[in-house]
A and B are shown apart, each in its own frame.
Chain A
Amino acid sequence: MEADELLERMARSLRHQIGPVVGEPFAKTQAFMASVVLEKVAGQLRCAADHRQADEVDRLALASDVEAAAGSNVSAVVSDAISALRLGEEGLSSLVETLYAKRDELGSDLFEQLLGRVRETLRARLDRQLEYSA
């Protein structure tokens, strides 16, 4: 049995067999919450490999797109932040921070263009997270 299936079975037991026979209100709530948490973890586990791959594909595509849009006229700080996108997820946050910090240097149009492209990637990433969070 896969780990996510096992967790879902445990969640169903807690919700339908254990929770209903618990008398004390706080413990009953805890049993119900345990089932909710296990369901969420199961959903997250089930999606993990696909989401990790999609996140990486999107992030590398983002790196290429913002590199092309920024061209060679941006400062080393912005250029380094774009390059860091290829290294891992942390690069997303540092690029967002760098864009805001260098807004004046980039100018309004380029700032909006680059941030808009970053936001496309963040939106897709969030939509994947919402598959098991919402």
Chain B
Amino acid sequence: MIENDRPMEDRIRDYLAERLGAAGLVLTSLERIAVGWSHETWLFDGDWTEGGALRNQGFCLRRDPGNALLREMSDLGVQYRVLQCLEPTPVPSPRPFFYEDDVSILGAPFIVMEKVPGTCPSPWRREGRRFYAEAADRGVLPASFTDALVALHSLDWEAAGLDFLGVPEPGDGFVRGEIAKWRGLIEATEHAIDPILVDLLCWLEANAPATERLVLVHGAYRTGNFLIHEDRVSAVLDWETEVIGDPMYDVAYVLSELNREGTDLLSNLVERDEFFRRYEAGTGIEIDEDLCRYYQLMYAMRSAAFWMSASDLFATGANSDLRLARTAWSIPVVLDRAARDLGY
């Protein structure tokens, strides 16, 4: 990342003033929000005059800090193209405005998109879990959660132009591609690969299922990865692991115990039978629980890869955030789950 002494607010304002042709642009309420471990995120409002009329727009800017998690598989340029493709579709997503890979502007590549109204309570915090428990009782958000996934899996991704993400080979091409992608992340770390993870990777490869139907898969569809406004999903976020693949890959993530804490509600929010009923009715796709069990082992492998990559960022000095150092001890915990699922 290229350092620059000028305040971030001034640099963002100058850039947007030029792009919008708004010399008198004023930014207000600029804040950097602490979400996730991937990209830096700023929220702000812009006021300017255009053709004599006052304009106002809320913006969200995400910048690649160059030392973030999953950086190898979350190119901002790709995210921008995905958001462009999703804009005219029913999938709730933020409208993208600009993508810049010119690092002289803000020191690193970034995208600018609309600031969508809503909040994103963390399901890993007590207050977040209370929020989702109360929303579950009302019943509106659980339906919206399922409907957004239905919209995603019902999307004509070829017509939307999303085939640029890569279309897997027929048969087990999707699964093998995912295993290779995450194995690459594992091998890029300086960790020795635990023999249980070797067992898991070999088992996944030996039992790779064929994919019968291809959809746009989000890859991390759960509470905490979308905005909520007026009890509904206002925008699906975190387009970092999306892929053209098996819809059961997302469904398995929804069903996973990894994504709920102290409750039987899927993703801390949705009653299981209601999710099955609404998803199957909305998509016409029958949920294959055996296949979901396979993908849940894939998520255990992904979790191990994720924690290995996270702790490696600290260990190699690329990032000094001590939360990353802590994750080294999460690896045996996810391997324990994998070992149990493999029968030992």
Asked whether, in the complex, the Cβ of A122 is within 8 Å of the Cβ of B196, the reply is: yes
- Across the two chains, which residue of chain B brings its CB closest to A127? B336
**Between A and B, how many residue pairs show CB distances below 8 Å?**
70
When A30-B322, A33-B326, A97-B198 are in contact, do A119 and B339 touch as well, CB less than 8 Å?
yes
Which residue of A92, A96, A126, A132 is within 8 Å of B336 (Cβ)? A126
Interface size class of chain A, counting residues whose CB lies under 8 Å from the partner chain: 20 to 34
Q: Which residues of the partner chain A approach B198 to less than 8 Å between Cβ atoms?
A: 93, 96-97
Q: Which residues of the partner chain B approach A29 to less than 8 Å between Cβ atoms?
A: 323
Asked whether, in the complex, the Cβ of A92 is within 8 Å of the Cβ of B323, the reply is: no
Residues of B in contact (CB 8 Å), total: 29
Give Cα A54 to B332, complex, Å: 17
Asked whether, in the complex, the Cβ of A122 is within 8 Å of the Cβ of B199, the reply is: yes
Q: Which residues of the partner chain B approach A34 to less than 8 Å between Cβ atoms?
A: 322
Contact with B along A39-59 (1 / 0, CB 8 A): 010000000000000000000
Asked whether, in the complex, the Cβ of A33 is within 8 Å of the Cβ of B325, the reply is: yes
Asked whether, in the complex, the Cβ of A119 is within 8 Å of the Cβ of B202, the reply is: no
Listed by A's residue number, 26 A-B pairs whose Cβ atoms lie within 8 Å are: A26-B34, A29-B323, A30-B323, A33-B323, A34-B322, A90-B192, A93-B193, A93-B194, A93-B195, A96-B195, A96-B199, A96-B202, A97-B198, A100-B205, A100-B206, A116-B344, A118-B199, A119-B199, A119-B343, A119-B344, A120-B344, A122-B195, A126-B196, A126-B332, A130-B336, A134-B332
User: Which residues from chain B sit less than 8 Å from chain A, CB to CB?
Assistant: 34, 192-196, 198-199, 202-203, 205-206, 321-323, 325-326, 328-333, 335-336, 339, 342-344
